[in-house]
């Protein structure tokens, strides 16, 4: 009896958690598009006004693409970390839920930063959001590394170190971006474009 209850209490099916996580990622990635405000000029004016209005959407579309790629990278991080996980304990479950809250917040902060890309406060909120997501991935990885019984097979030290170094990239970029947003807000948003390259670079660095 006790064994059955313990099981119920402390372990969550990895499969259903992944379904929920994938669903929320897919939805958050799709909701990003609602942040692009379609222009709605009057029909009589539309012929003359619409071309300029479409052109003025460029910063919003640009940030939409950036946010989508960053969320794709986060999804990949989740995939990579859960690749090793075999059992989900209560702590890991709640780290995931906090992660998902900050993921779901991304369409909101993207919307705001896309509407006001030159205003420090709006852009700073975006960087803060990214920092929190990145931090929670680092926390999740530390939790996985410290609780070897969740993994199968057990992680070797090289993977632990590599994963930890990788998990510091996003928080580092967010901090630099946040500092840069006081000088040049739009430029600070472009920082995230180095992400796809940074992981490739990291992989080529020699392990300590």
Interface residue list for its own copies (CB under 8 A): 1, 4-5, 8-9, 12-13, 16, 18-20, 22-34, 36, 38-40, 43, 46-47, 50-51, 54, 64-65, 68-69, 72, 75-76, 79-80, 83-84, 93-94, 97, 100-101, 104-105, 107-108, 111-112, 115-116, 119, 121-122, 125, 156, 158-159, 162, 196, 203
**What is the spatial distance between Cα 69 and Cα 75, in angstroms, rounded to a whole number?**
10
Question: Residue 149 or 200: which CB sits closer to its own copies?
Answer: 200
Q: Which is nearer to its own copies, 83 or 149 (by Cβ)?
A: 83
Structure tokens at 139: 């926390």
**71 vs 173, beta carbon nearer its own copies:** 71
Are 178 and 191 contacting, i.e. CB atoms less than 8 angstroms apart? no
The Cα 156–Cα 24 span in angstroms is 31
Nearer to its own copies, 93 or 187 (CB): 93
Asked whether 137 and 104 are in contact (CB, 8 A), the reply is no
What's the closest the beta carbon of residue 134 comes to its own copies, in angstroms?
18
Output the smallest distance, CB 82 to its own copies, in A: 9
**Interacting residues of 133 by C-beta distance below 8 A, sequence separation 6+:** 74, 99, 102, 103, 106, 170
* Minimum distance from residue 190 beta carbon to its own copies (Å): 17
Those residues whose C-beta lies under 8 Å from the C-beta of residue 93, and which sit 6 or more positions away, are 12, 17
Shortest Å distance, C-beta 43 to its own copies: 7
Nearer residue to its own copies within complex by CB, 27 or 164: 27
Question: What residues contact 123, with CB distance under 8 A and at least 6 apart?
Answer: 113, 116, 117, 181, 185, 186, 188, 189
Q: Least separation, in Å, of the C-beta of 187 and its own copies? A: 17
């Amino acid at each position: 009896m006790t064994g059955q209850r313990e099981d119920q209490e402390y372990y969550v099916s990895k499969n259903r958690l992944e379904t929920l996580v994938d669903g929320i990622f897919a939805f958050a990635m799709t909701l990003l598009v609602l942040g692009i405000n379609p222009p709605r000029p009057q029909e009589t004016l539309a012929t003359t006004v619409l071309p300029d209005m479409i052109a003025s959407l460029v910063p919003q579309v640009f940030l939409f693409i950036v946010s989508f790629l960053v969320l794709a990278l986060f999804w990949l991080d989740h995939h990579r970390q859960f690749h090793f996980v075999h059992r989900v304990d209560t702590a890991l479950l709640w780290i995931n839920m906090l992660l998902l809250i900050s993921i779901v917040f991304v369409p909101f902060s993207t919307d705001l930063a896309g509407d006001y890309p030159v205003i420090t406060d709006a852009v700073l909120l975006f960087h803060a959001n990214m920092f929190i997501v990145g931090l929670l991935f680092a926390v999740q990885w530390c939790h996985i590394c410290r609780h070897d019984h969740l993994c199968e097979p057990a992680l070797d030290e090289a993977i632990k170190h590599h994963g930890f170094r990788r998990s510091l990239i996003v928080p580092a970029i967010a901090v630099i971006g946040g500092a840069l947003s006081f000088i040049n807000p739009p430029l600070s948003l472009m920082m995230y474009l180095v992400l796809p390259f940074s992981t490739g670079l990291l992989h080529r660095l020699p392990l300590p």
